[in-house]
Amino acid sequence: MNGPCLELVVFKVKDAEKARIARRAAQDTVKHYDGFLSRTAYESCEEKNLFADVVLWKDLKTAKEAAEKVMKDPAFAAIVAEIDGLVSLSHYAADRVVEADAKAA
């Protein structure tokens, strides 16, 4: 896979409030990682302890290198400690982009 790589991580947390604080504290760290493009943090509308992170990387190689770095980076220790289970961690290449018409939005 060449080109941008979307990383989707869905995980359960022990305590949503503690996890939210820990995740926010760690978020600025990742922007200094090689290949980082953007990150959006989500929380489930239906399950209070279900979180999702959507991260865009330069390519699959830098995404995988960053995943290894996160596990060793002290800035992520608090959020890693709050994780109660990994639901999914996957990498995706874009097939097609469709955007809303300005009039429709």
Dist. CA 83–CA 92, nearest whole Å: 23
pLDDT of residue 1: 63
Which amino acid makes up residue 40? T
Query: What is the value of pTM for the model shown?
Result: 0.88
Radius of gyration for the chain, computed over Cα atoms and rounded to the nearest angstrom: 15
Dist. CA 65–CA 84, nearest whole Å: 23
Residue 105 banded pLDDT, cuts 50, 70, 90: low
Residue 64 banded pLDDT, cuts 50, 70, 90: very high
Region of residue 47 (left: phi > 0; alpha: psi -120 to 50; beta: else): beta
